[in-house]
Every structure is written in structure tokens, then in C-alpha cells.
Amino acid sequence: MQQSTPEEVDWSALRADFPTTEKFCYLNLANKAILPTLVEKSMQSWMHDIYEHAGDSAFSMGEIEKTRAAVADTFGAPPECIALIKNTSEGINIVAQGFPWKDGDNVVISEFEHENNTFPWRHLAKRGIEIRIAPPGDDGRVTVDQYRDLVDAHTRILAVGWVVYGNGYRSDLRELSAFCHDKGVKLMVDGIQAVGILNERLDDVGADIIIAGGHKAQFSLAGAGIMYATTEVIQMLTPPYAAKYSFDTLDRTIDAPALADDAHRFEYGNPNFAGLWVQRRSAEYIKQIGLDNIDARVEALTSYLIECADKHQVRVRTPRPWSQRGGIVSLDLGGHAGKAVKALHDQGVIVAEKDGHLRTSMHFYNNEEDIDQFFSALQAL
């Protein structure tokens, strides 16, 4: 997607943008991101506009459109196909509740999906929509082969995590897209563990919908996220709620106003002005560094972690090829990882326990010393 010169990136200087790294060995991006100082500065500038200019810019819808343009430019999509939403779960619910379901329809997901890509679909069971769940293969992957027997003529949506939150497996979206579109199925992607790390345009991986909260790899605030949808899907979805900004007019005297033709239809009242102010600047920050550089940096760091795990004889659950993973590496400690995660936390090493296993997750602000510190602390337990 983006192309720049890796030698131009001073990773140590960028790490200094993240004060949390001075106090913690933070390997838990997949939960929440530690934020760069530009976020604090952005929030201060937003408040400054309120104090000094009565919010002329802080509460400007024109500024919201600048955020839409910045996000679209950084992550690769036409601005009209980007809705500025609160989070992943809101976006998935927009799809689940707004899709033109028919009696007998089904949606297919996998056992690997996060709660927020599971419960919105289960909620449809009350409307007679069948939820089919694919088990992973013995190799810890969920590929087309796992979905093939579940998808039939009544399947309307296949919903997958781009990078799954547990073992870190990266779905092959292009392969899944070809499979889905051959069957007349829409491919919806939970992209929160991928957007901001992987050097892929949102509009170039074959997905019909990609949804990602902004509070992880995008360095935005909770409550500010994005939803990409193709023009066809935008027209197909009826938003479950609508207000001032959902229509193609602001004339409230019109009896039956038409929904906006673009992704604005999924937005309604006052947006998260402060969150979107930050999100614009965070997207510009990522753009300046370059997604190609970030992608390569995270690949190198996670590869080093895997090498260290092998050296210390800790079993790696995450697929090894970079094309099959992202910033998450899951480790099998031979038992439930809960106690180890707490003990590491007490030493300032922040990781997570997911599905009983220890999960590490990284962004470009991490370095090899973080990984060495993690394994030194782990081996000392």
C-alpha cells in the first residue's frame, strides 16, 4: 500500500512519543493502546479552541469531514465509504440490524471471534436468523475449508476477524472474498487488531465491510472508530437508527426524507467531537510514519519474540508466517496463564490472558529490549 524508506524511521525517537514505555514493558496493544503524546496535545488544542474561540473548530462539522478525509487517506478508502462510528460493536450492530434479512437466512462466524463479533449475530436468533459457527482446524487456523460446509444458498454474511484476538491468526481476506462472492455472500470483517498495523488498503482486500474501533492500533480514543463499506453495501443497509446527519437533507419538514447515499447514513446526531479531533491527528501520525514501515517493524518484533520463545522452549500458538499473523503472539505455558499474567503485571510487564493462554501484542513503539525483559521475567516465575 504505502511505500517509503525504512532507513528514514528512527524507532527510538518514536518510542519517546510514548511515555508509558519508560515505566512499563507494555505488550498488550490487543487490549488497549498506550497513547502517544500527540493525543494529549490534541485534546488540549480541542479544549483551547473552546476556551479561546467558543468552539468554532472544536464543534465544527467541517472538522469532522477533515477527520473522515484523513482516515480515508491513511487507511485506504474513498471518504464517502467511511462512516465515523463509536466502536467495532456499534458497526457490527449497524450491519446486523440493518441488513435485509429474509426468513431462513443464516450468518456464519467462527469459534475464534471476539464477543463483539458474536453477540450481535446471536441476537438475531430471535428474528429467526440461524447462526453457524465454524471450528478451527487442528493447526489453529480458520480457512475457507472450515467455512465451506457451513455456507449454503441461505448464507447472507460471513463475519470474520482480520486478525483474531486469541491466537493472533490472520485471515486471508482475499481468499475468503473470492469464496464469498462466488456464493453471493457478503464478507464482513472485524478489523480492530489489524487496522493501523497491516499495510493494506481497506478497499483492496475484497471485504464488503471492515469495522475497527480506534482505541488500539489507530491510537485514537475509545468512542471513535471507523466503518468502511462498499457503495453496494451502503445502499443495501438500512440504519437501525437515524437522525439529523443520516439523510440527504436537513429540511425536517420533508415527509419522507431520503437516506444519505454514502456512509453518512450510519451517523446520526452530534458526533464524538473530541474523539474525532484526536482520531484525525492520530491517522496523520500513522500516515507520516508509513504503514509499510509499521508493518515491517511489527513483523520484525513479533518474529524476534517467536525466536525467543523457541529458545526458551515456550510453545507458540500463533501461525509463524507473517502472512498468517499480525501484532499478536500467543504462548502456551502448559497450564492456565492467569497467575503468570498477574505476576508479570506486578513486575511492570503487561500482557494478557486469553482463552487460558498468555497473549502478547505489539506496535512499533516496542523494541527488542521489551521482549528480552518479558522472557527474563517469565523465566523467573
Q: Hey, CA dihedral for 63, 67, 73, 74, is it positive or negative?
A: positive
- Whether residue 74 is found in the same domain as residue 122: yes
Q: For residue 218, which of 364, 336, 330, 339 has the smallest C-alpha distance?
A: 364
DSSP-assigned beta bridge partners for residue 160: 189
Boundary (domain end) residue, out of 266, 288, 310: 288
Read off the pLDDT of residues 289-341 as tens digits, 9 standing for 90 and up: 999 999 999 999 999 999 999 999 999 999 999 999 999 999 999 999 999 99
Report the alpha-carbon distance of residue 92 to residue 110 in Å, rounded: 15
pLDDT confidence of residue 140: 87
Read off the pLDDT of residues 349-361 as tens digits, 9 standing for 90 and up: 999 999 999 999 9
- Whether residue 195 is found in the same domain as residue 305: no
Three-class secondary structure of residue 142 per DSSP: coil
Q: What value does the mean pLDDT take over residues 126-153? A: 94
Give 316-323 contacts, CB < 8 A, sequence gap 24+.
317/140, 317/167, 317/168, 317/357, 318/140, 318/167, 318/168, 318/169, 319/139, 319/140, 319/141, 319/168, 319/169, 319/170, 323/170, 323/172
Domain presence at residue 88 = yes
Domain presence at residue 339 = yes
Per-residue cell: 243: 437522525
Q: What value does the mean pLDDT take over residues 267-278? A: 96
- Whether residue 114 is found in the same domain as residue 54: yes
User: Which residue range is the domain that position 360 belongs to?
Assistant: 6-31+290-380
Beta carbons within 8 Å of 124's beta carbon, 6+ residues apart: 96, 101, 107, 131
Q: pTM to 2 decimals?
A: 0.96
- Whether residue 232 is found in the same domain as residue 371: no
Report the alpha-carbon distance of residue 262 to residue 277 in Å, rounded: 21
The domain that holds 270 is classified in CATH as 3.40.640.10
Q: How many domains does the chain have?
A: 2
Confidence of residue 2 (pLDDT cuts 50, 70, 90): low
Phi-psi region of 286 (alpha: psi -120 to 50; beta: other; left: phi over 0): alpha
- Mean pLDDT score of the chain: 96
Domain presence at residue 98 = yes
Per-residue cell: 142: 480458520
Boundary (domain end) residue, out of 240, 271, 288: 288
Boundary (domain end) residue, out of 255, 288, 321: 288
Domain presence at residue 213 = yes
- Whether residue 357 is found in the same domain as residue 244: no
- Whether residue 79 is found in the same domain as residue 185: yes
Read off the pLDDT of residues 170-209 as tens digits, 9 standing for 90 and up: 999 999 999 999 999 999 999 999 999 999 999 999 999 9
The domain that holds 11 is classified in CATH as 3.90.1150.10
Domain presence at residue 312 = yes
